[in-house]
């Protein structure tokens, strides 16, 4: 039996795992390759951020480098769907993964030549037990969040939540006692570090969750092709560039608290604009709200990452970058789980009075195959997306206030 996943273009970055994804013939092989892809991403992102700390001791140059790093990662998430959309329209689906292989092979050849080695002076070892405890903690909490949104607080939801919390408590205890912990909890004794990590986590939670819905929304509700949807997303990349450039330009004169909170408020404003949309609103209104949000993300992300590197001791830059990226990836996973489930729940609830239980009621793609259900399906799915945007805006506001309080004593460097 051949396996051909049904999706909208996603970003794929790591060469060996991308090749495995392209060659997957069964769902389990695809999931396994995707997990390996996640491991590759989890190692590359904090390593590159830590290298920036080592290569740029000067604060001003480091801020510029962090801004470029933020734009590069965001640019990949925009360029990926554009290239992927083109490939999906003209070639086999596995091509969207294979296209990454020569790029990553080139990086593997060039990086050792142009980059200086940077090591932790303590020579820390990998905390295998900590990793074993972290995995069920995250999976349990994600499962509980997904179930409580879709099924309510039933016995399975409570069991998953309790199991996740138990493993999380064991993980924290392990990190406090381990000689070389996965997450150096001592870094959180610096208020600015904890506030910056929190801001990154929450912003990632909101943007990843909405980002997972964006392309489906543009393709189903507004009838765009995969490539057209990706091209429509170009202004969002420009928004991130503008936000990162703005943060780097005024960082010498503006306190970090102003930049981080202003970025988070801009993101909340963008989500608020999306929450007001209806199915008949132009797709450009959605893109506009998303772009306002990405400007805020560019400002917040650049400033927060600069704070994380600046407040950590030079020898702990790798640990600080690891904490930052771990929190960002965790926020993204939870955001996709929670906001995706919330949008699906609202969609199904809105469709209950229109169509009996079945594939059309479960997914918008299935409903759109029936001309009689198009209006109801687009309206229901728009309701799901706007609900997710409203939840994001509501979550951002109190976290912004807490972050502002934690950073109140910070000064421009």
- pTM as predicted: 0.78
Structure confidence at residue 85 (pLDDT) = 72
Structure confidence at residue 328 (pLDDT) = 80
Rounded to an integer, what distance in angstroms lies between the CA atom of residue 218 and that of residue 283? 7
User: Which token pair is 183?
Assistant: 């997450």
Query: Radius of gyration of the chain from Cα atoms?
Result: 21
Does pLDDT of 6 surpass 60? no
Q: What percent of the chain has pLDDT over 90?
A: 16
In terms of Cα–Cα distance, which of 10, 17, 4, 6 is closest to 229? 10
Rounded to an integer, what distance in angstroms lies between the CA atom of residue 26 and that of residue 48? 33
Q: What is the pLDDT of residues 302-361, one digit of tens each?
A: 888 888 877 777 666 667 777 777 778 778 878 888 888 888 888 888 887 776 655 556
Structure confidence at residue 350 (pLDDT) = 83
Cite the beta strand spans of 198-320 per DSSP E: none
How would you label 39-54 residue by residue, b for 16+ Cβ within 10 Å and e otherwise? ebbeeebbebbbbbbb
Torsion of CA 305, 308, 314, 317, to 10 degrees: -70
Structure confidence at residue 13 (pLDDT) = 42
Does pLDDT of 36 surpass 60? yes
CA distances from 58 to 62, 114, 283, 297, 306 (A): 6, 20, 43, 24, 12
Q: What's the longest Cα–Cα distance across the chain?
A: 66
Rounded to an integer, what distance in angstroms lies between the CA atom of residue 180 and that of residue 324? 17
Rounded to an integer, what distance in angstroms lies between the CA atom of residue 264 and that of residue 397? 8
Rounded to an integer, what distance in angstroms lies between the CA atom of residue 215 and that of residue 210? 9
Q: What is the pLDDT of residues 330-345, one digit of tens each?
A: 788 788 888 888 888 8
9 pLDDT band (50/70/90 cuts)?
Answer: very low
Does pLDDT of 296 surpass 70? yes
Taking each helix axis from N to C end, the angle separating 128-150 and 317-351, rounded to the nearest 10 degrees, works out to 20
Does pLDDT of 156 surpass 90? no
């Amino acid at each position: 039996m051949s396996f051909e996943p049904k999706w909208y273009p996603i970003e794929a970055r790591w060469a060996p795992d991308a090749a495995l994804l392209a060659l997957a013939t069964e769902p389990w092989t695809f999931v396994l390759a995707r997990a390996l892809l996640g491991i590759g991403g989890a190692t590359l992102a904090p390593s590159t951020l830590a290298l920036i700390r080592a290569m740029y001791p000067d604060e001003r140059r480091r801020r510029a480098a962090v801004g470029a790093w933020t734009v590069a990662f965001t640019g990949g998430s925009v360029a990926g769907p554009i290239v992927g959309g083109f490939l999906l329209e003209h070639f086999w689906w596995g091509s969207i993964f294979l296209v990454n292989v020569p790029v990553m092979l080139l990086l593997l050849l060039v990086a050792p030549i142009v980059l200086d080695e940077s090591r932790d002076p303590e020579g820390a070892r990998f905390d295998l037990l900590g990793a074993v405890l972290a995995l069920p903690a995250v999976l349990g909490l994600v499962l509980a969040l997904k179930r409580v949104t879709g099924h309510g607080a039933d016995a399975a939801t409570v069991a998953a939540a309790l199991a996740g919390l138990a493993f999380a408590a064991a993980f924290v205890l392990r990190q406090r006692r381990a000689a070389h912990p996965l997450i150096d909890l001592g870094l959180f004794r610096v208020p600015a570090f904890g506030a910056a990590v929190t801001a990154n986590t929450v912003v990632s939670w909101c943007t990843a969750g909405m980002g997972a819905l964006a392309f489906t929304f543009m393709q189903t509700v507004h009838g765009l092709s995969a490539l057209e949807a990706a091209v429509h997303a170009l202004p969002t990349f420009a928004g991130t560039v503008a936000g990162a450039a703005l943060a780097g330009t005024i960082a010498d004169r503006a306190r970090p608290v102003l930049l981080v909170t202003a970025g988070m408020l801009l993101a909340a404003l963008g989500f608020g604009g999306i929450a007001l949309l209806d199915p008949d609103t132009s797709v450009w209104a959605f893109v506009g709200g998303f772009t306002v949000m990405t400007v805020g993300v560019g400002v917040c992300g650049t400033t927060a990452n600069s704070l994380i590197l600046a407040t950590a001791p030079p020898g702990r830059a790798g640990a600080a970058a690891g904490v930052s990226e771990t929190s960002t990836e965790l926020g993204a996973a939870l955001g996709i789980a929670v906001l995706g489930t919330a949008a699906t729940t609202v969609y199904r609830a809105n469709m209950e009075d229109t169509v009996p239980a079945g594939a059309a009621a479960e997914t918008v793609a299935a409903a759109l195959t029936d001309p009689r259900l198009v209006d109801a399906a687009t309206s229901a799915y728009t309701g799901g997306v706007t609900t997710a945007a409203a939840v994001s805006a509501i979550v951002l506001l109190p976290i912004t206030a807490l972050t502002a309080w934690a950073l109140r004593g910070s000064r421009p460097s």
